[in-house]
Homo-oligomer: A and B are copies of this chain.
Amino acid sequence: MQEYLAIVAACPLFDGIGHDELRALLSCLTATQRQYEKGSYIFAAGDAVTTVGVVLAGGVNILKEDFWGNRSILAHIEPGGLFGEAFSCAQVDKLPVSAAATEKAFILLIDYRKIVSTCPSACTYHTGLIRNMVRILAQKNVALTEKIDCVSRRTTREKLLSYLSAEALRARSNAFAIPFNRQELADYLAVDRSAMSAELGRMRDEGIVRFEKNRFELAEGPPGA
């Protein structure tokens, strides 16, 4: 564990907690470290999960299998990353996804009930831990809501405008940089990259937006003007 302390400290769940306190906290949480071979499951669909996982080394894929057995990868988690927190904390009785090691992996497992219950010994950093967990869930919530707002639009143009509007409001400026390249933006908006590129070109021709690379600038007037 010693060797992974820096990785654990990098996990947002432990924000604001120093190395020394962290060691005490992990013991208070009865966190356990386990090793998984490539391809083996940390959680399997159908399981009841009460733990969250922190990747110490290696990597983990979150997989989903639909009714007909079609598999898809929902996420890839790297060292320092957290997984399983939504399903554990939501107290779902049967996991709808699986988590599998993509290579030999070391995982720290922590029971979410230990996290959200203040310990009898009242360790100082437990309140910070709870606040971190709540913040992580809430931030993901905000990000997901924002994405749905974009993806739920009917046309590529509406999706782009919705996304660019959100970025402009976030930057509090009509000029801003986006954290995606074209392919990533297309994936985020769930549209075809080339069709999106064409739509961006038309929007530029109409004077709605200017852009170069990942820097965008929105015209101040309404899109219709």
Contact = CB atoms under 8 A, between A and B. Distances in A.
A139 interface: yes
A154 B198 CA distance: 17
A138 B86 contact: yes
Interface string A159-172: 00110111011101
Q: How many copies does the complex hold?
A: 2
Interface stretch (A3-11, A32-40, A141-149): A141-149
A138 B222 contact: no
B67 A218 contact: yes
Interface stretch (A18-26, A90-98, A103-111): A90-98
Interface stretch (A53-61, A128-136, A177-185): A128-136
B140 A141 contact: yes
Interface residues of A, number: 61
B151 A134 contact: no
Contact of A190 (B66, B74, B154): B154
Among A134, A135, A139, A140, chain B packs the most CB atoms within 10 A around the CB of: A134
A89 interface: yes
A48 to B, nearest CB: 14
A192 B153 CA distance: 11
Given A68-B165, A127-B117, A144 B137 contact: no
Nearest to A223: B68
B151 A90 contact: no
Given A96-B169, A116-B134, A152-B190, 12 more contacts: A66-B165, A67-B168, A87-B138, A88-B138, A89-B137, A92-B142, A96-B166, A118-B126, A137-B137, A137-B138, A144-B148, A154-B190
